[in-house]
Structure formats: C-alpha cells, structure tokens
Structure 1
Amino acid sequence: MILGYALIFAMGCFSLALLMNLWRIASAPTMADRILAVDTMTVNVIALITLYGAWMGTSILFEVTMLLAMTGFVATVAFAKHILRGSIIE
C-alpha cells in the first residue's frame, strides 16, 4: 500500500521533470542545451516506464526500457557528432 503511494509520487515527480525538459527545449539558447534536454527526457521516460512496470507488476516493460536506453544513447551520440563535425556518417 505504501509502495503504491511512493510509486505514484515518483511518477508525478518524473512527469514534472518531463514538463521542465519540454520548457528547456523550447527556451534553450544553443543546440547543445537542447540535445542535453532531449537526453534528460529519455532518462525521465525510462524512469516513468520502469515505475509503471513496477506498479503494474509486469516485467515486459523492463525490456522496453532497455531498448529505449540503447536507442537514446545512440541518438545522443549521433546528435553530438553532428554538432562537432557537421555530419553523422563519414
């Protein structure tokens, strides 16, 4: 019972963090700041999906979060390479 309340509170906190990241994407002065905000959004979405999976008692969502983490990492590296070199594929 208390664990359920803690999960709901944590999900609310991560949802608020997602909204703050959306604001940062809209108001960031540089592209690097926007990329960091998108990367942080990926981490927050992973946390939300993991908390939801724990709340529902299912383990399939943990595999989804692993795929999302790998995709988010590759996307962040690709964005950073694009900023540094101007192209992703050499």
Structure 2
Amino acid sequence: MLIVSLFAIVATMLLALARALLGPTVFDRILAANTFSTKTVLLIAVLGFITNRPDFLDLALAYALINFVGAVAVLKFVRYGNFAQAEIELEIPRDPHEAPA
C-alpha cells in the first residue's frame, strides 16, 4: 500500500511540474512550485517510513520550513519588486456623509 502511495505522490509531482512549466501566469507557476515542494515533503516522509529511518521526518520538516520561507519571499518579490522593507499601503476609509475633497 505504501508503494502505491509513493507512485501517487510522484504522479502528482509530475502534474505539478507540468503546471509549473506551462502555467499561464507567474502565480500559477509559484503555486505549482509550492505544490511540488509539498509533495516532496510527503515523499521524503513516506520514504523514511518505508525504510524505517525516522530521521527522514526531520529532513522533511526542515524542507517544509524552507519551502514556506521561499514561497513567501518569492511572492513578496513578485508583489513589490525587491526583498527590502515593503511600503505599507493603507487606505483610510472616508466618512460617506463627508463632502468629496
């Protein structure tokens, strides 16, 4: 049964890779890369369970953390164009009864 799950994870990784290469927008590619990385974490965890190596779970958790930080960094770069402190865009709501300026 675990071998079947390995094949299913690899199949979804291939589909995510195809979406990353063919995605029409940059956000499709980012989401596909994040999905691919998440499936890699699952693959490492299942391989660790099959081979009776519990230290693989530590590697999978570290990879998941790197995946999260990388996804946030790429999304910030796409949104603001740099990795520096992003300007906070606040829109203060006006009173609807107030005359327009």
Q: TM-score, normalised by structure 1?
A: 0.91
The CA distance in 2 between the partners of 1:9 and 1:85, in whole Å, is 42
Identical columns (%): 27
The C-alpha deviation readout for 1:54-79, integer Å capped at 9, x for no partner, is 00111110000011011000000001
Q: State the one-letter code of the partner of 1:81.
A: K
1:64 corresponds to which of 39, 59, 65: 59
Deviation at 1:89, TM superposition (A): 2.4
TM-score by length of 2: 0.81
Comparing both structures, which one devotes a greater share of its residues to helix? 1
The answer for unaligned runs of 5 or more in structure 1 is 1-5
Number of aligned positions between the proteins: 85
Q: In the alignment, does 2:41 pair up with 1:46?
A: yes
Residue correspondence of structure 1 range 8-47 to structure 2 within 5 A: 8-47=3-42
Can you give the 5+ residue segments of structure 2 that lack an aligned partner in the other structure? 86-101
Higher RCO (C-alpha under 8 Å, 6+ residues apart): 1
> CA-atom RMSD, angstroms?
0.7
Please say which structure displays the higher CA radius of gyration: 2
